[in-house]
Amino acid sequence: MSAEFYGVSLRSPLMMGTAQYPSPEILREAVQAALPGLVTVSLRRESAGEQAGQSFWSLIRDLNVSVLPNTAGCYTVKEAVTTAHMAREVFNTEWIKLEVIGEPDTLQPDVFGLVEAARILSEDGFKVFPYTTEDLIVAEKLMAAGCEVLMPWGAPIGSGKGLNNVFGLRALRAHFPGVPLVVDAGIGVPSHALRAMELGYDAVMINTAIAGAGDPVTMARAFSLAVEAGVLAREADPMEERDMAVPSTPVIGKAMLS
């Protein structure tokens, strides 16, 4: 059960954030329980000049998992591009999860700034993972800007509302059958992640739903199992929904009592 992004196969389609955990040890145990394909790390969390940041980066390295730095909290193209360049130096990777936030209450991405920043970074050799909406036109422009992965939101970051627009997510999957797609943001419980995988998505990104759970380690394991179940269900070719009931026990051949 692997997922491939920019030619690199990850061991799992589960991606985990590293913020808001009760302690570094619980973060470590959660990652060990879930065995995600990668973890995301914000440059704001990893401060190159502070001891606390160095300790956190040491913890992440010890987890032996791929790292995807992100530009979380950036509201302008300049800020996002600058943060991405700093992240490349700190984490020694061309991969970047690109966030350009446009609205503070919903944390909805500024899709205009996002496309511009994606173009700038792609031209500079970055492998961009853009946090976007499920809008098909925006997706087309991000692809034209050089992105080979799309990360549409399921719902606002940290809301736990799940997949607010299943129709839009399904349409995005249908329009870009060969593009790796990741549901990023809004997933609250394992069943949301399972549904995303059933829809044909290549991965899911989880942070708050695990870090904010009463037992993050058990929740991490639950998400890992849910993602696996979603992949298996999709591969098993599920039955189609019906408007009418269909008896599971055949009527033909049934004994008739008078």
Annotated binding residue 186: yes
Separation CA 84–CA 98 (nearest Å): 8
Annotated binding residue 162: no
Separation CA 180–CA 12 (nearest Å): 14
**Taking the chain, what is the end-to-end CA distance rounded to the nearest angstrom?**
55
161 assigned to active site:
no
Side chain identity, residue 107: L
**Phi and psi angles of residue 98, each rounded to the nearest 5 degrees, phi first:** -95, 120
Separation CA 229–CA 11 (nearest Å): 15
Catalytic residue among 97, 141, 161, 254: 97
Annotated binding residue 76: no
Q: What is the DSSP letter of 172?
A: H
Annotated binding residue 132: no
Annotated binding residue 158: yes
Here the tokens at position 207 are 């942070």
Separation CA 38–CA 208 (nearest Å): 16
Binding region for 1-deoxy-D-xylulose 5-phosphate: 158, 185-186, 207-208
Q: Which residues are catalytic?
A: 97
